[in-house]
């Protein structure tokens, strides 16, 4: 019988690629804490307050003790729990693989899930059907498995570089608009689409120039995705200090 109370708690997306990912072959607590973080993270497009902290979509405020309690399991009539050292090792493993970014605060740890907006947008999975079709077509034409594996690893490495740059150099340094930064996932997608991997250092220069521009100092920062690509200009116009090439400023 359908339990409507369970449905009222909502849902979140997990990509089927998880079955082939590294975490799937790790001990159970790795996968358990990963799914827990995704399911408990702030969702939607608005920031939310939790324990006095403003959290953006894809973020969650946790403590080690809270994580330990979540990971407890039953053996007979007693509960077993991991140690703080073991739990810290789980977070360290996720950080090393660019799956999360953590920030220590007085209340605990703010965990930011990398690419949260992308994986939680169901429409993004529809586009993957075309990629899958091309891969199968390539197999039928005689592409060998070794070549495909090499290309996949190269793609993963490039994606890791984009995510690392975005989480460490771009997003934390982008100026707020009305006290907020919105469209994190869309901005990352725009960077991957419109900025070449060898242009990331140039983008950092352009962002620094833009942050110090008169528009931003007057409080007219653009949404970050529009800074990357707009119908009248793109981020390269800010490689030299001053205003963009277009005379029209759209916010």
| pLDDT confidence of residue 142 | 55
Contacts of 118 (CB under 8 A, 6+ apart): 124, 185, 188, 189
Indicate if 108 and 177 belong to the same structural domain: no
Sign of torsion, CA 218 165 197 57? negative
- Per-residue DSSP letters for 189-242? HHHHHHS-GGGHHHHHHHHHHHHTSHHHHTT-PPPHHHHHB-SS-BGGGGSSSS
Flag whether 135 is in a domain: no
Q: Same domain for 105 and 160?
A: no
Residues 174 and 234 in one domain: yes
| Same domain membership, residue 92 and residue 172 | no
Whether 104 and 164 share a structural domain: no
- Would residue 79 count as lying in a domain? yes
Q: Are residues 112 and 151 in the same domain?
A: no
Provide the domain limits for residue 229: 146-238
Our count of domains for the chain comes to 2
Q: Do 103 and 18 belong together in one domain?
A: yes
Q: Residue 187: CA atoms inside 13 Å, Cβ hemisphere, count?
A: 21
pLDDT at 194: 85
| Plot region of 63 (φ>0 → left; ψ -120 to 50 → alpha; else → beta) | beta
Instruction: Per residue of the chain (251 residues), give pLDDT as tens.
Output: 556 666 667 788 898 889 999 999 999 999 999 999 999 998 876 677 777 778 888 899 999 999 999 999 989 889 999 999 999 999 999 999 999 999 888 889 999 999 888 888 887 776 555 545 555 555 555 555 555 555 566 666 677 788 888 888 899 999 988 878 888 888 888 888 888 888 889 999 999 999 898 888 888 888 888 888 776 667 888 887 655 544 444 33
Residue 32 belongs to a domain with what CATH number? 1.10.10.10
**How many C-beta atoms lie closer than 10 Å to residue 87's C-beta?**
22
pTM exceeding 0.85: no
How many residues belong to the chain?
A: 251
pLDDT at residue 5, rounded to an integer: 66
Whether residue 129 is contained in a domain is answered as: no
166 shares a domain with 87: no
């Amino acid at each position: 019988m359908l339990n409507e109370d369970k449905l009222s708690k909502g849902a979140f997306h997990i990509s089927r690629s998880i079955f082939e990912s590294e975490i799937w072959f790790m001990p159970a607590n790795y996968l358990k804490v990963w799914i827990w973080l995704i399911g408990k993270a702030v969702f939607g497009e608005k920031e939310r307050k939790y324990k006095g902290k403003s959290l953006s979509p894809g973020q969650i405020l946790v403590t080690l003790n809270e994580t330990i309690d979540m990971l407890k399991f039953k053996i007979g009539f007693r509960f077993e729990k991991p140690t703080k050292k073991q739990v810290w090792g789980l977070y360290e493993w996720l950080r090393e693989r660019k799956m999360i970014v953590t920030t220590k605060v007085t209340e605990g740890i703010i965990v930011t899930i990398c690419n949260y907006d992308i994986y939680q947008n169901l429409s993004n999975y529809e586009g993957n059907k075309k990629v899958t079709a091309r891969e199968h077509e390539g197999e039928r034409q005689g592409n060998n498995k070794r070549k495909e594996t090499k290309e996949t690893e190269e793609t993963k490495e490039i994606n890791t570089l984009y995510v690392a740059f975005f989480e460490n150099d771009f997003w934390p340094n982008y100026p707020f608009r009305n006290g907020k930064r919105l469209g994190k996932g869309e901005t990352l997608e725009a960077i991957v689409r419109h900025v070449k991997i060898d242009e990331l250092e140039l983008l950092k220069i352009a962002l620094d120039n833009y942050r110090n521009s008169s528009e931003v100092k007057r409080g007219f920062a653009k949404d970050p995705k529009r800074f990357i690509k707009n119908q009248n200009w793109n981020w390269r116009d800010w490689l030299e200090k001053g205003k963009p090439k277009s005379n029209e400023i759209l916010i």
